[in-house]
Structure 1
Amino acid sequence: MVGNGVASIGECMLELSGQTGPNWRMGFAGDTFNTLWALHALSADRPATYVSAFGDDPFSQGQIDFLAENGIGIGSSPVIPGARPGLYAITLTGAERSFTYWRGDAAARQLASDPAALAKNLENQALVYFSGITLAILDEAARQTLLAAVAKARAAGSLIAFDPNYRPRLWRNREDAQAAIARALAVTDIALPTFPDEQMLFGDDTPQATAERLGQLVKEVVVKNGEAPALIGKGGALREVAAIHVPAPVDTTGAGDSFNGGYLAARLGGIAPADAVQRAHRVAAAVVQVRGALAPFETLRAAFGQS
């Protein structure tokens, strides 16, 4: 019998977002954390665990405290002496963002260093979520450890969700990314790819091609495509669901991650895929109207349709 909780595996980083002038605002963000943030906001009755590895420096403790203050635990995630978090800075041109990273020796790269602790974190979870970035920051042995733990959780009844989230700079080469992502899809129940990523990695011509290719491997697929419609592939059928146009977005950081959180919250709540995508679009539209990757819980709940 699986429990009620949700777990997300990956890297939470220090986020520097630029304001006018030389001043920077520091927060915490990262693709799988952004998704868990939205999922937790919209499924507040479910225990939430961020599965990673942390350093023993003040910034890592700040991360752990921030998670706890917002109702998110770290389970048995290891604290690595001498390690520290990765860091990235966002620069904006209008609402479009670009990133500069410092993450080569981040603690999160050791998230599979204790296989027993990793497996314990995934036990009895209703949902386990991870991404291609989670895979990319690990070496090959750690990837194998992670995928074995995910497969074990799935066999025990957990629903597994995965966003391939291809970032070329994190991979040694395209072939390594293709192979690792294929292995992840083999243990996945819900795939949440983004079409431009899949086009870059696998050469798909259309979102339909992505949905059909992944539909051979995964029973439920939602292909995101910015402001173009999202495409649901389930049971051999494809269905488009229009996105929401935001005339003057403030910051597009975290939009796709928050879409994933909204979709998974809806599906865990028993909502059908098409309605779940509509709610996820509303969540993403709300997120691009605030600065940074994390919108306030109240903003996410209002967009989702919760009082």
Structure 2
Amino acid sequence: MSGFASIGECMIELSGATGDNWRMGFAGDTFNTIWYVRALAAPDYPVDYVSAFGDDPFSVKQRDFFAANGIGIAASPIISGACPGLYAISLDGAERSFTYWRNDAAARKLAGDREALAASLKGRDIVYFSGITLAILTPVDRQLLLEAVKNARENGSKIAFDPNYRPRLWDNVETARSAISQAMRLADIALPTFPDEKDLFGDATPAATAARLSALGVKEIIVKDGTAPALVSVQGREDWIEAVPANAVDTTGAGDSFNGAYLAARINGLAPADAARRAHCVAARVVEFHGALAPMEEARAAFEKTM
């Protein structure tokens, strides 16, 4: 087994608005995570973003951006006439809100080609996806994706999952609960955020979240909670890992960067509690930049500070 695959939607990101001028980039929750895995894993370690892409000029720019930063697309299909989704970040201080244009995005068809999806996930150390990955798919394609993830796990891959609950993407709460719980039953590593779990499942505390996920069979659980300590729960042992102070200017991508740094540290052989410490350091540095993607060298410097 070798390599990391992240499944989901990478969109055009508009950020850092000054008047009517915006900075364009590429981002999306599971792409943000793979960005930091790429930054922090060994340079020759293969990482691939598994999705579906269009053939318009923005899609070409997107794939060129991936390639320039050492991120492949495996066997992801390229769909004639399709294009990426788009979102804009609005800031109130360091807190952000989003406006999306994504209903016809190519990524919504990422599970449509079963053979391509299976080929993209074959032989991976870790396969990572999120609740947003599930939410953008039709019910039929959602099940196809979960089937592909199950097959990857049965063939030796570890599965990492972040529920990343976004109510506006789901038809209703019941559908979200069902799909996310189904995904959790396939997960070896869970990376939930406590406020999301409180909203969706009514968990009273991070420890309650960890207990619920453990009952679903997840062995390695990291409950993020913003600037509060993260709970690392591994087969009955609990560690509370303090967050790192930061001069935050934009909290976009904080949780995604935590996930990427955590998974990169685990790939590098660190224990879960140590991996969470590294992840807090990286997330604290990331929120000091505008947009979801901080420079890779800054992420590496933050990661290495705790060595």
TM-score range, shorter chain: over 0.9
1:139 to partner: Cα distance: 0.7
Counterpart amino acid of residue 10 in structure 2: C
Structure 1 residue 241 corresponds to structure 2 residue 234 = no
Q: Over residues 104-151 of structure 1, what are the superposed CA-to-partner deviations in whole Å (9 max), with x where a residue is unaligned?
A: 111000001100000000001111100000000001110111111111
Q: Give the distance between the partners of 2:143 and 2:193, measured in 1 at CA.
A: 24
Q: Which residue does 1:34 correspond to in 2?
A: 32
Aligned pair 1:170/2:164, yes or no?
A: no
Q: Equivalents in 1 of 2:113, 2:18: separation in Å?
A: 43
CA distance in 1 between counterparts of 2:269 and 2:75 reads 29
| Aligned-partner residue type, residue 32 of structure 2 | N
What does residue 121 of structure 2 align with?
122
Q: Indicate the residue corresponding to 2:221 in structure 1.
A: 221
| Pair 1:10 & 2:8 matched | yes
C-alpha displacement at 1:238, in angstroms?
1.8
- Report how far residue 188 of structure 1 moved: 0.6
Identical residues among aligned pairs (%): 66
Residue 62 of structure 1: SS of its match in structure 2?
A: helix
AA partner of residue 297 (structure 2) = E
Equivalent position SS for 1:92 = strand
Name the stretch that deviates more: 216-225 or 236-245.
236-245
Which aligned pairs between 1:1-307 and structure 2 lie closer than 5 A? Answer: 2=1, 4-43=2-41, 44-217=43-216, 218-246=218-246, 248-305=247-304
The amino acid that maps onto 1:243 is: A
How far off its partner does 1:98 sit?
Answer: 0.5
In the alignment, the residues of structure 2 paired with residue 305 and residue 216 of structure 1 have an alpha-carbon distance, to the nearest angstrom, of 35
Inter-partner Cα distance in structure 1 for 2:44 and 2:191: 24
- CA RMSD of superposed structures (Å): 1.0
Normalising by structure 2, report the TM-score: 0.97
1:186 Cα offset (Å): 1.0
Deviation at 1:46, TM superposition (A): 1.1
Q: Render the CA deviation track for 1:171-194: whole Å, top value 9, x for unaligned.
A: 000000000011101111000000
Instruction: Write the distance in 1 (CA, Å) between the matches of 2:220 and 2:174.
Output: 25
Shift of 1:236: 1.4
Q: Distance in 2 between matches of 1:57 and 1:167?
A: 28
**Which consecutive unaligned segments of at least 5 residues does structure 1 have?**
none
2:144 is paired with a residue whose SS is: helix
SS in 2 for 1:19: strand
Deviates more, 1:181-190 or 1:13-22: 13-22
Q: TM-score, normalised by structure 1?
A: 0.97
Which segments of structure 1 move beyond 3 Å, counting only runs of 4 or more? none
Are 2:16 and 2:290, in contact at CA under 8 Å, matched by a contact in 1?
Answer: no
Instruction: Measure the CA separation in 2 of the matches of 1:269 and 1:103.
Output: 35
- CA deviation string 1:173-226 (max 9, x = no partner): 000000001110111100000000000000001111101111112000000000
